[in-house]
Structure 1
């Protein structure tokens, strides 16, 4: 997993966001075991307690499940993962639209721009 921890925001919040993205992107498939806390913390370059805090947040929301002797696994409930995916996408869309409106673009102009960008990406 590629971690990107920056200054200015709480580390555990950044860990939560990046772990959520990994879950919805399928980096850790539903039902799969995730690496232990210490391994994840070492990979991210953070304190294990900070990683533990992030993982507990994901557990409390049903995205991860703790197995006493087997570590943590990703929820096998696809509905939970799809709801998170949709929520993350809606946040990105809202932020994007706010920025486009700040540039003075209309909804029609934004739609045209998106279609043109998608077409050029396919080429």
Structure 2
């Protein structure tokens, strides 16, 4: 695992996994957590590629997908910026929640757990987390 800083963003890269997917997921995560503000400029493709020591085409692929998702927008002559739409980010966060929950439920069901089992474990874990002040 290689940790690299690019502007305000920190990337953890695993060179055994597709790099564009890692960049995409880590930028999405930073957006969802609010680590990158609405309308904020993100590093150029060249800046990002240089700082991460990877091919610019890899960064371009991730940036295109972010733009396709409506999470970023290109401004001619200025660069790439995070969307200014608070609604789009809220929608994206809601989509992430659904995706993570579905993944979790699918994994649990593949292990043979019923909804009642899953619900019981969730209540138990929730109680422990509340009791120990973990967030």
TM-score class, shorter-chain normalisation, is 0.7 to 0.9
Partner residue of 2:89? 81
Instruction: Decide whether the 8 Å contact of 1:3 with 1:44 is kept in 2.
Output: no
| Residue 63 (structure 1) aligned with residue 71 (structure 2) | yes
Aligned ranges for residues 35-114 of structure 1 at < 5 Å? 35-114=43-122
Distance (whole Å) between structure 2 residues aligned to residue 56 and residue 17 of structure 1: 13
Distance (whole Å) between structure 1 residues aligned to residue 50 and residue 115 of structure 2: 45
Aligned pairs, number: 122
Higher normalized contact order (CA 8 Å, seq sep 6+, divided by chain length):
1
Corresponding residue SS for 1:3: strand
Give the TM-score normalised by the residue count of structure 2: 0.77
Please report the RMSD computed on the Cα atoms of aligned residues, expressed in angstroms: 1.9
- Segments of structure 1 that go 5 or more residues without pairing to the other structure are none
Over 6 Å off, 4+ runs: none
Q: Which of the pair is proportionally richer in helix? A: 1
Alignment equivalent of 1:5, drawn from 8, 14, 18: 14
Q: Deviations over 1:55-110 (max 9, x none)?
A: 12211332111122322111011221122212222111111111111222221221
Q: Which of the pair is proportionally richer in strand? A: 2
Corresponding residue SS for 1:2: strand
- Segments of structure 2 that go 5 or more residues without pairing to the other structure are 1-9
Corresponding residue SS for 2:23: helix
